[in-house]
Amino acid sequence: MASVVNGSPAPLNYRVVADHDDFLLIDKSPGANLHRNQRGRSLLDQLADDFPAHRLLLVHRLDDVTSGLLLLAKHSAAAAELAEQFRSRAVQKFYLAIADGKPRKKQGLIVGDLEKSRGGSYKLSRRTDNPSRTRFISASVVAGQRLYLLRPETGKTHQLRVVLSSLGVPILGDRRYGGADSDRAYLHAWALCFRYGGQDFRFQCAPTYGIRFQSPAVNEALRHWHEPWQLPWPGAAAQNTL
């Protein structure tokens, strides 16, 4: 069974970005499900067929609706080293999102616990017992619509989707959190920086799915943000949006 994007079947597509001896980095298509759940076949099944010489292991995850950079280890030792980097927050992750409307703030640091809500959704809380942390900046791309560059410092379930919804600007196409209907959910894992085997790696992968990601204004913003790890990120003082 194929994965689904906004009610339509989506193939389990991906593109290889880097094929290292110890890891595989792919550009995942939006809607491709990592696990079978009730869909019969997953992206991991497809990758197992395409790379039979390796037992590919996830070291982090992307929501089904999210496209972009997904890192998999080719053996258990690499998986342990890379997974530890994600757990210790040594990996830098940068995402792109598009949303309609005017946000409560155009840049900043959002800190707060993510609490379970109804139907598998989450909500941002004022509590900070085990908080999510997200830095973000944004730029206007068309009237009434902004592009967001997000830098999550934690890896909570649905974190970025909840953060933008809490700002009053749910991601375009993200039906779960109130986003307007569109050809896809506009969330993309754009850049990934990590250290492995004593070497620093930096990867970027521009979004290829979604008409809104292809606009000249978005391309101009990406040129301006072309090395996101070098940007002066906001948020010296932690703030909750609620």
| Rg, Å, the chain Cα set | 17
Which of 27, 63, 64, 174 is flagged as catalytic? 63
> In degrees rounded to 5, what are phi and psi of residue 130?
-145, 70
Q: Contact at 8 Å (CB) between 186 and 213?
A: yes
Of the chain, the end-to-end C-alpha distance in Å amounts to 40
Q: Say how far apart CA 200 and CA 196 lie, in whole Å.
A: 6
Q: Contact at 8 Å (CB) between 203 and 18?
A: yes
Catalytic residue flag (residue 19): no
Instruction: Calculate the alpha carbon distances from 16 to 85, 122, 176, 200 in Å.
Output: 22, 32, 29, 19
Which DSSP category does 234 fall into?
Answer: -
> Where does the chain have alpha helices with state H?
43-50, 76-87, 159-166, 216-224
Residue type at position 192: L
Please name the residues in contact with 229: beta carbons below 8 A apart, sequence gap of 6 or more: 92, 94, 191, 193, 202
**Cross-strand bridge partners of residue 109:** 135
Catalytic residues: 63
